[in-house]
Amino acid sequence: MKTEQSKTWWRWLAVAASALAIAFIPVPEGIRRESWTLLAIFIATIVGSIVQPLTGSAMVLLGVVATVLFGALEPKDALKGYSEPVVWLVLAAFFLSVGMIKTGLGRRIALLFVRAIGRKTIGLGYALVATDFVLASMIPSNGARNGGVILPIAQGVCETYDSRPDDGTAGKLGTFLMNLLYQCDIIICATFLTGQASNLIIAKLAKETAGIELSYASWFAAAIVPSLISLVAVPFLIYKFFPPEIKETPEAPKFASNELVKLGSITRHEIIMLAVLLAVVFLWATKDYLHKFDTAIVALFGIAVLLFAKVIEWRDLMGEKNAWSVFIWYGGLVNMATFLGETGITKIFADRMAGMTAGMTWTFALAILILVYFYSHYFFASITAHVLAMFVPFLAVTIGVGAPAGLTVLLLAYFSNLNAGLTHYGTTPAPIYFGTGYVKQKNWWTIGLLASIVNVLIWSIVGLFWWKILGWW
């Protein structure tokens, strides 16, 4: 107990120290004291979200309160983030995943893939990856997709082959499968605007900072070519250098078939769920072409249909603790980041960084800044925290050195996802997969580093050529 309390106090000390370190720096000319106080609170909140003396959402709530107590924001401004459409879209994303899991539709899709192509170990992996790919086009919660649908099936297959984390048999199948699923998930996160919830914030920041519109369709069109190459290269890398002991999995399709029999015929609720998801994706993809409805309203309309059809019930939504926790997290952090963007502090940072890259060509400066942005994720336990802390400043710096705005936005947007593969805490599914015990930390970090090099090369070489063809730069 004393050890745990000691750890907590050190975490609180880190939070306080980060705030005081900013607060006691002389306020730069042209910046108001209230704005500088807001920066100190924002940095402390980010640090708190990383070291977590309390959960991340609780730290954000404390940060929101602190902005008012210390005079950085008025109460109505401090709470303004909870009226942001993007925050409601994130909430709706979690609610859609509730329906996907409750109806069993997600599980059915995964089992159909496993039955079709799961005879070999690599095919089994791709069956589950394909499930994640399909679901990511509709469900922006990577935690719900992996924790609620994909992982239970993966664990079931591992058990079928007597591959367990605690008896020396993890290497048979489980270690390979958990590494493969996670590393492919972060590629899939980068593929769709709905790949994970922070992408919606990235799109908002890109529009506000650089005037670049990242719609559902344009995000996917720019991502699909480098994504498909990564989804071939990274699994090959893992299979080649960290192979499973079991290469054939003939029991996997049988397992899937048996589970499908238990599920029975597709139900009315599954059909409604699928129809709603397809309709929501269609309306997201055709925004600005066929209609002007905000993406958040489209998602909430889908939730309304599911409630009306009794596919989900209100108590299901009220019981989704993670959704409401994320709502508090996103609303508070997005709001602080938005107000910080209006203070002029970002411009000062960009000017200082631009001075350090003076004399470099924009291509060389962009390469350095993008790599710094990518590998700084070792210090973040959340894509959201990383994006809100660094996306806008680095976007401003890279554009300031002459890099094309469209190219810079795409690199930062996709690298904000791909860098989550570095560690076992990089984004929500990381601790879910790591927590199974199949993968040791050294193995996880080694694969994460090697996969990061492959992804960086693919997305910064193939990606650049593809985006040139599409006219992004």
Report yes or no on 335 lying in a domain: no
* 160 and 144 both lie in a single domain: yes
**Which residue carries 């108001």 as its tokens?**
32
- Number of structural domains in the chain: 2
Report yes or no on 301 lying in a domain: yes
Q: Of the residues 322, 344, 371, which one is the last residue of a structural domain?
A: 322
* 45 and 73 both lie in a single domain: yes
Tokens of 370: 């993008």
Report yes or no on 49 lying in a domain: yes
* 121 and 270 both lie in a single domain: yes
Distance CA(96)–CA(194), nearest Å, equals 12
Report yes or no on 300 lying in a domain: yes
Residues in a beta bridge with 287: 291
φ/ψ region of 122 (left if φ > 0, alpha if ψ in -120 to 50, else beta) reads alpha
pLDDT of residue 295: 86
Report yes or no on 433 lying in a domain: no
Residue type present at position 252: A
Q: Of the residues 284, 306, 322, which one is the last residue of a structural domain?
A: 322
* 300 and 277 both lie in a single domain: yes
Q: pLDDT below 50 — which residues of the chain?
A: 1
pLDDT of residue 93: 82
Report yes or no on 458 lying in a domain: no
* 150 and 283 both lie in a single domain: yes
* 263 and 241 both lie in a single domain: yes
Distance CA(125)–CA(156), nearest Å, equals 13
* 66 and 191 both lie in a single domain: no
Distance CA(384)–CA(57), nearest Å, equals 12
pLDDT of residue 4: 56
* 166 and 228 both lie in a single domain: yes
Report yes or no on 448 lying in a domain: no
Q: Of the residues 37, 62, 78, which one is the last residue of a structural domain?
A: 78
Report yes or no on 217 lying in a domain: yes
pLDDT of residue 6: 57
Distance CA(296)–CA(234), nearest Å, equals 33
Domain residues for the domain of 64 are 1-78
* 72 and 91 both lie in a single domain: no
pLDDT of residue 318: 93
* 295 and 151 both lie in a single domain: yes
* 50 and 174 both lie in a single domain: no
pLDDT of residue 52: 83
Nearest to 387 by CA among 452, 458, 334, 351: 334
* 65 and 156 both lie in a single domain: no
- Assign 3-state DSSP to the chain and report helix, strand, coil percentages, each to 5: 75, 0, 25
pTM of the model: 0.86
Tokens of 323: 């959704």
Q: Please provide the distance, in angstroms rounded to a whole number, between the alpha carbons at the two ends of the chain.
A: 56
